[in-house]
Structure 1
Amino acid sequence: MTNSTTLLIVEDEILIQQTVEDALTDAGFTIVIASNGIDAMTELGDDATRFRGIITDIRIGDGPNGWDVAQRARELVHDMPIVYMSGDSGHEWTSKGVPNSVMIGKPFATAQVVTAVATLLNEADSH
């Protein structure tokens, strides 16, 4: 991976945020953090095309949730890879998740996130 592969992490729990950021940075990605849905929407509105993928929790405080963030990302970049993380909303993924996304249940091993991101990016690059 090169430093031009920028990902947006949307997570309100600082410990999870840092753990996922560290794992993805170690894997060679550049990371932008949004601590809630409002910040994520702002980042997407500024220039969604700078992101190669999004890793988002579902419950991220007041305002837009992870489902909303992913929907907006896909409106702006139709094939944006999305990785959802959730401790309790996984059962809603089939009805609320965007197509060709991945759901990872919390707790998870950070290698799961890195693998999910890499797999989705490779799939997107092959199309």
Structure 2
Amino acid sequence: MNSVLVVEDDADLRAAVADILEDEGFVVHVAENGRDALEELGHMGHMPCVVLLDLMMPVMDGFAFMERFRADPVLSQVPVVVFSASVREPPEGASAMIRKPFEIPALLSAVAGYCPRE
């Protein structure tokens, strides 16, 4: 089963993205900041097919998360799609970027590019 990790500090947006992806058949894990995302990855038991990452978050933002994520030889194999309203270019190591606000088809297309249907 394909799983996706959604890292977003806005609870409503995090829940909406999770619901959309679950409706499409994905197993969704969520985290509200980069630190929580690193902890969640340690508990998952398997790597997600993609991480959807907000950049502007408290505690540990997406940039700090990317530094830690990409320094790990196992984690660095997982694609990261960042979404942001304020940043024009994705950080180094990001696989793709979606500008907020985004349309549902754009979200699903980005995820489908890294998570083939089983």
| 1:41-91: CA deviation from partner (whole Å, max 9, x where unpaired) | 1112335733221001001112x2113323433423332121101010233
Letter in 1 for 2:40: E
Q: What does 1:44-59 correspond to in 2, within 5 Å?
A: 44-47=41-44, 49-59=46-56
What's the CA shift for 1:6? Answer: 1.1
Alpha carbons 1:11, 1:56 under 8 Å: kept: yes
Task: Determine if contact 2:5/2:31 at 8 Å carries over to the other structure.
Answer: yes
TM-score between the two structures when normalised by the length of structure 1: 0.78
Query: What TM-score results when the alignment is normalised by the length of structure 2?
Result: 0.83
Which residue of the partner structure matches residue 30 of structure 1? 27
Separation in 2 of the partners of 1:79 and 1:50?
9
Whether the 8 Å CA contact 1:84–1:104 is kept in 2: the answer is: yes
Gaps of 5+ in 1: 123-127
Report percent identity of matched pairs: 30
1:69 is the counterpart of 2:69: no
Distance 1:121 1:79, change over 3 A: farther
Query: Greater CA deviation, 22-31 or 42-51?
Result: 42-51
Aligned residues: 114
Q: Which has the higher helix share?
A: 1
**Aligned partners of 1:77, 1:37: CA distance in 2, in Å?**
13
Question: Residues 34 and 61 of structure 2 are in contact (CA less than 8 Å); yes or no, is this contact kept in structure 1?
Answer: yes
1:8 aligns with 2:2: no
Q: In the alignment, what sits opposite 1:97?
A: 92
Going from structure 1 to structure 2, the CA distance change for 1:79 and 1:108 (only over 3 Å counts) comes to same
- Assess, with a 3 A threshold, how the Cα gap between structure 1 residues 70 and 29 changes in structure 2: closer, same or farther: farther
Task: For 1:89, give the aligned amino acid.
Answer: V
> Please, which runs of 5 or more residues in structure 2 have no aligned partner?
none
Match for 1:97: what amino acid? Answer: E
Specify the code of the residue in structure 1 equivalent to 2:77. D
State the Cα RMSD in Å.
Answer: 1.9
